[in-house]
Structure 1
């Protein structure tokens, strides 16, 4: 009995150390510098930061971004999607200046300014398999999709539709990638109905053999998710990432 209790205590201690290690890694903070901030049209901004040295991430990840020079705590931290891959030489963000204090401060930073990054995570983990990917992004939801496309292009069939709402930061890049890769079908839509028509083609082609990833404006994501389920797609095949700041 004593041996059993000791074993339980040892296993519990090891589990605690592992958990603490994971939390410490995910929650640790690194300071990055602003390389450039580009207005790509309207209130959309592409923000390039130096790459973290101690943190890695998967395609579709997000991170806690803090502006250390902003004094008020509720105006200096937000969760933003990472739109670059871990193997690129910079960390890239795509965001809209919605008029909030945080977004105004973020998009007005000068080259060399510092930001803090911590707590990298993801809701969109994709298994390394051959299942086709059917991707839908509305608005700046394309920020999540861009690294997923870059990671899997040429390795599996991909259908991507962007309800762009004049967010065209990656349009040339994705169009070029699609023209060079027969497994990638990229299109843009002017309305949610057009996007549904594109995804209906994918449903008819792949059904529940595909993984459906929906990102961006919450109302659009919810509407598309409902539409796919009505078309017979199982809920387990649908992955979503809602950009609640756009609602």
Structure 2
């Protein structure tokens, strides 16, 4: 009888641990996936099909520099056009959430870039492909097109705290050029250059790769073709350890 009671106790304990584990897992999922309602503050159209969207930031909201999130447009009825994953171009310590995007002509992008002031947008599921730890490794960064939206907040967070080399193959996206150039003038360990061609960007990253090798962290963000070509260049031509390369491809640009 005692043996049976002991067995029942063990089974109950295992089930309890499993139940608690499930609760923790669901709690994490619920936290990460929870939706926050944001309001449109303003929308800028600096050039062509480029838009900079300013959204309100809830007081309790925080995210890692270089993160992306799911943005839902409640007023859109077509299911395939209600949500998109978009990069947050601002940091948690800024007073707003910034989104830099092309209006590709899709229903989602056309609706998003035409929202009136005060319109609601739902944001959930924050994540990042470009995590940067608290170490002292140099950061060597390459942005293609609106990929600069992922690297602007990273530069803002780490400039003055570690060496950063940032090259932007801008393709006409100059929204943050003045700001980043000013930061480079103020902070000696931060350099910012723009390129007119991929080969020019490759030359600039090649110099940094020869200087730092696999001691640096390489952050690549933007159009998939450019990002994959730069990754291959660093791996094959410069011998950079693949573990040191972090990539965020903006597939929505294609």
Q: Give the TM-score, by structure 2 length.
A: 0.95
Give the secondary structure class of the aligned counterpart of 1:204: helix
Q: CA-to-partner distance for each residue in 1:165-190, whole Å, 9 max, x for gaps?
A: 01011000000000000000110000
Instruction: Map residues 27-176 of structure 1 onto 2, 5 A cutoff.
Output: 27-176=33-182
Which residue of 206, 229, 233 corresponds with 2:240? 233
**Partner Cα distance (1:103, 1:56) in 2:** 25
Give the secondary structure class of the aligned counterpart of 1:120: strand
How big is the shift at 1:11?
A: 2.3
Q: How many residues align?
A: 247
Residue 18 (str. 1) matches residue 18 (str. 2): no
The aligned residue for residue 242 of structure 1 is 249
Moved over 4 A (4+): none
Which residue of 207, 213, 224 corresponds with 1:218? 224
Which residue of 5, 9, 12 corresponds with 2:15? 9
Q: Give the TM-score, by structure 1 length.
A: 0.97
**Partner Cα distance (2:97, 2:13) in 1:** 44
Residue 197 (str. 1) matches residue 203 (str. 2): yes
Give the secondary structure class of the aligned counterpart of 2:173: coil
Give the secondary structure class of the aligned counterpart of 2:174: coil
**Partner Cα distance (2:235, 2:10) in 1:** 49
**Partner Cα distance (1:234, 1:64) in 2:** 31
Instruction: Show structure 1 runs of 5+ residues with no match.
Output: none
CA RMSD of aligned residues (A): 1.1
How big is the shift at 1:27?
A: 1.1
Moved more, 136-145 or 120-129: 120-129
How big is the shift at 1:5?
A: 3.4
The aligned residue for residue 180 of structure 1 is 186
Give the secondary structure class of the aligned counterpart of 1:104: helix
How big is the shift at 1:54?
A: 4.1
Structure of larger gyration radius: 2
**Partner Cα distance (2:54, 2:252) in 1:** 21
Instruction: Show structure 2 runs of 5+ residues with no match.
Output: 1-5
**Partner Cα distance (1:91, 1:15) in 2:** 34
Moved more, 226-235 or 12-21: 12-21
Q: CA-to-partner distance for each residue in 1:193-216, whole Å, 9 max, x for gaps?
A: 000000011011100000000000
**Partner Cα distance (2:185, 2:248) in 1:** 27
Give the secondary structure class of the aligned counterpart of 1:11: helix
How big is the shift at 1:4?
A: 4.2
